[in-house]
Amino acid sequence: MAVKDIDLEKKALAKEYKELLKISYQTLSSDDKKLIRKAFNFAVDAHEHQRRISGEAYIFHPIAVAKIIAYEIGLDAISIAAALIHDVVEDNSNYSIQNIKKVFGKNIAKIVDGLTKISNLDKEANTSQQAENYRKMLLTLNEDVRVIIIKIADRLHNMQTLSSMPVEKQIKKASETLYIYAPLAHRIGLYNIKTELEDLGLKYTDPETYDDISKKLIENKKDQDEYIEKFNQAVSKSLNKEKLKYVIKGRSKSIYSIRNKMIKQDVSFEEIYDKFAVRIIYKSNVKNEKFLAWKIYSIVTDHFTPNPIRLRDWISAPKSTGYEALHITVVGPKSKWIEVQIRSERMNEIAEKGYAAHYRYKQKNEKSDDSLDAWINKLQEALENPDTNAVDFVEQFKLNLYAKEIFVFTPQGELKSLPVDATPLDFAFAIHTEVGLKTRGAKVNGKLVPLNRKLKSGDRVEILKSEKIKPSANWMDYATTARARSKIKSTLNTEKKNLAKEGKEKLRRKLKQLRLTLNDRMINELQKFFKLSTSLDLFYRVGINTIDNTMIKKFASSRSNVFISYIKNKISRKPKEKETEKEEITKKYDLLVFGNNEEKLDYTISTCCNSIPGDNVFGFITINDGIKIHKKNCPNALRMQSNYDYRILKAKWIDSTQEEFTVSIDLTGIDKIGLLNNITHVISENMNINIRKLNLETDGGVFKGNIVISVKTNNLVNKVIEKLKKLNGIEKVNRL
């Protein structure tokens, strides 16, 4: 590198260091600054000769992570120092955790050790499930929650600089981010970071949608600013009259959340009414916060009509993440619905900085409640359960992270937070594992209810217990929380293993009578015959007599018949030329190619997303059904790419002239004479496309319909949809 470039890098480093100290959210003492300087110099020396894929000096990455920790998350000097040296041990064989401990002490060494272990998980062999790695990563929460927070900051900077990575790596990292890191950031209360992670994740997993929404938001920015100004003018006079100190801000909804609303509500970008929200942030001491929030609510609703079912009071009952605010939806200027968020400065800091602000205010005001610690303790129990399947756990864990909350009461009047759709059984396990395992019934608001009844906010729940009760398999259908399901599954598995142990010995005796030996090969044959996925299922079914003597004899008989037919087939079968087989495969599967070498392989189209030529797709290697083809925006894509990235195959369509595919399209709109004729005219005559099925139903002047057509490419489907949308009377057109 040229001397000039080295000098420029040194100046940039000096500037970054000064900025790091300047932007720190916490007040730094002279000792804090010395610690940060020491870590900075240590990191510069350790990463001296290392560069990122982009060509940038590697040291700028840990500095960027430290800046996120210092300002956006607002952690202390120990966390900033740990962020600066978080990659030293992993990336440099000359340094060890013992070196870190000797130079910086055990606290920083402990955090760096946790971060190093997480980084090493990514390098483990592909044979281990990625979900298990996530579980191991989450176990570090018990060590020090700052480990996970720094890891989230590390992931944020990696996502901000992801453009220099190969496309396959971009998709893998983005999928992981949406799958686990964004939900974690949400649960810890890092809402700003969660939003940025989601948007960046969408940018690389669905770039077309991201670019489209992003462009439309920029185009709407002027209208948004004008709208907020009108809102401000309407309420500011009344707020000033009450001598309140406040600011009114506008905030666009994230690209990711807008995209989710478009999918969930089945609407276009233009049809979403709450693309942005108004935020009123006011000054107050803790004592008057609630009073002033409701005063501002009263002023806003004096000017604008509120939607009574859209009131969210998270001041009286804060979210389990620590989030506090009053949310109301009103008919604002221009008769448009607008969400108004009312927060004090303290509430706003907690919403933006999460953990750091929560603890800073806790120390100031001696608050005893600590929902984050309670959450970590509950999480730890589930994580350490050896009987929990890692993939099942991560899926359930992710659902619980994002779940909306309800608030219910114990018989003593204590308030408990649970996810939406929680049941009395979830409530029982939330109180204590032993209460859950001994549940025989529940009363809600004094009335006996089924264990699968969905609870509502405000319910008073009483659990009825019995020492004779044991969890049954149908309890898994009643419980929704990770904690409850984990404990139920663990108990059931213990009982199942005991019965399976007895079943194995029973099976061994029965086979011996039939002159067969129970060994690994025999177990595999039995599993295939009875269509069971594990030996545990096989032994368990023998143990409970679901597989009885008659069925075992049938297996022995079929085994003999299979062997005889195999010998006959071996004798009579004529050898096929390899070239003929190859030609047949090539002819049958000439539309898709796989990998960088563009190989032609056997595959089937997955029914969950039904891709056709022209779609962006990938291959997924299944255990029993070969390669399945999924669209890149398939509902299951994130889960597969995050948990089983080593089973993902790069795939693309290369030829679409030999085969036709069926596509199903739904239509809704206002019924009118001649509509059916117009639809068929557009598809069959103008575009020369074959209609395989057409069904229209009308009710009260509104019609719903479904059309199945045969096409060769994705482009044709898009053209059909665009032309149908232009027909007078048609409101919505969606490809299924």
Domain of 21: which CATH number?
1.10.3210.10
What average pLDDT does range 419-444 have in this prediction? 90
Residue 626 falls inside a structural domain: yes
Residue 157 structure tokens: 């900077």
- Are residues 50 and 99 both part of a single domain? yes
DSSP 8-state code for residue 686: I
Average pLDDT over residues 243-270: 88
Which of 18-27, 252-261, 577-586, 664-673 has maximum average pLDDT? 252-261
| CATH code where residue 398 lies | 3.10.20.30
Q: Which residue has the higher pLDDT, 147 or 388?
A: 147
Could you give phi then psi for residue 493, rounded to 5 degrees?
A: -65, -40
Q: Which of 345, 365, 385 represents a domain boundary (last residue)?
A: 365
The sign of the torsion formed by the CA atoms of 100, 105, 106, 111 equals negative
Quick one: pLDDT band at residue 438, thresholds 50, 70, 90? Answer: very high
- Relative to beta strand 337-344, strand 276-282 is parallel
Q: What is the pLDDT of residue 562?
A: 52
- Measured CA to CA, the distance from residue 56 to residue 304 in angstroms comes to 52
Does the residue 208 lie in any domain? no
The Cα–Cα gap between 401 and 18 comes to 37
Position with higher pLDDT, 71 vs 359:
71
Question: CA 32, CA 283: separation in Å to the nearest integer?
Answer: 30
Return the pLDDT at 588.
39
**pLDDT value at position 38?**
94
E-strand spans in 681-729?
690-699, 702-711
Helix (H) or strand (E) holding 118: helix 106-121
Does residue 304 register a pLDDT over 80? yes
- Min mean pLDDT across 231-240, 522-531, 677-686 is at 677-686
Above 90 in pLDDT, residue 74? no
Asked if residue 151 and residue 46 are part of one domain, the reply reads yes
Are both 278 and 384 inside the same structural domain?
A: no
As to burial, measured by CB atoms within 10 angstroms (0-12 exposed, 13-18 middle, 19+ buried), residue 579 is exposed
Which helix (H) or strand (E) segment holds residue 439: the answer is strand 439-444
Q: Which domain holds residue 605?
A: 578-653
- Domain at 311, CATH number: 3.30.460.10
Q: Is residue 204 in a domain? A: no
| Residue 407: φ, ψ to 5° | -125, 120
Of residues 459 and 483, more confidence is placed in 459
Number of domains in the chain: 6
* Long-range pairs, 714-722, Cβ under 8 A, ≥24: 714/612, 714/613, 714/614, 714/615, 715/614, 716/687, 716/689, 717/612, 717/614, 717/663, 717/665, 719/687, 720/665, 720/682, 720/683, 720/687, 720/689, 721/665
- The residues, any chain, with a CB within 8 Å of residue 645's CB and separated by 6 or more, are 126, 130, 172, 175
Query: At which of 455, 490, 525 does a domain end?
Result: 490
CA angle 37, 38, 44 (to 5 degrees): 85
The residues pairing with 618 across neighbouring beta strands, listed in sequence order, are 630, 650
Residue 536 CB partners (closer than 8 Å, separation 6+)? 496, 497, 500
Task: Using a pLDDT cut of 90, give the percent of the chain over it.
Answer: 22
pLDDT on residue 366: 47
Rounded to a whole number, what is the distance in angstroms from the first to the last CA of the chain?
55
Q: Which residue matches tokens 């990625």? A: 130
Lowest mean pLDDT among 92-96, 126-130, 156-160, 421-425: 126-130
Q: Assign residue 361 a region (left: φ > 0; alpha: ψ between -120 and 50; beta: otherwise).
A: alpha
Let me know whether 147 and 102 are in one domain.
Answer: yes
For 20-32, b where at least 16 C-beta lie within 10 A, e where not — what string? beeebbeebeeeb
- Tell me whether residue 465 is in a domain: yes
- pLDDT on residue 373: 58
Q: Torsions phi, psi of 310, nearest 5?
A: -110, 20
Whether 660 contacts 712, CB under 8 Å: yes
> Is residue 18 domain-shared with residue 154, that is, in the same domain?
yes
Q: What mean pLDDT is reported for the chain?
A: 81
* Together in a domain, 13 and 42: yes
Q: What is the pLDDT of residues 709-723, one digit of tens each?
A: 887 767 778 888 888
Closest alpha carbon to 184 in 437, 13, 376, 49: 376
CA–chain centroid gap for 13, Å, is: 36
Q: In the prediction, which pLDDT does 242 show? A: 92
Same domain, 384 and 518: no
Residue 330, pLDDT score: 92
Mean pLDDT, residues 656-673: 75
Q: Check whether residue 224 and residue 355 sit in a common domain.
A: yes
Residue with the two structure tokens 């409970």 = 544
Q: Is 509 exposed, middle or buried (0-12, 13-18, 19+ CB in 10 A)?
A: exposed
Whether residues 234 and 309 share a domain: the answer is yes
pLDDT in tens, 585-599: 334 344 577 777 667
Among candidate residues 430, 463, 490, the one where a domain is terminated: 490
Q: Same structural domain for residues 470 and 597? A: no
Whether the per-residue pLDDT at 493 is higher than 70: the answer is: yes
Residue 376 confidence class, pLDDT cut points 50, 70, 90: low
Same-domain pairing of 507 and 472: no
Residue 424 included in any domain: yes
Phi and psi at 386, nearest 5°, equal: -70, -15
Q: How confident is the model at residue 7 (pLDDT cuts 50, 70, 90)?
A: confident
- Residue 194 covered by a domain: no
pLDDT value at 338 more than 60 = yes
Residues 375 and 515 reside in one and the same domain: no
Question: Which residues fall within 8 angstroms of residue 140, CB to CB, at 6 or more apart?
Answer: 114, 117, 118, 147, 148
Residue 312 lies in a domain: yes
pLDDT above 90 (res 55): no
Residue-wise pLDDT tens digits, 320-335 = 777 899 999 999 888 8
- Determine the pLDDT at residue 673: 80
Establish if 127 belongs to a structural domain.
yes
What percent of the chain stands above pLDDT 70?
82
- The tens digit of pLDDT for each residue in 96-139 reads 889 899 999 988 988 888 888 776 655 543 434 455 556 666 65
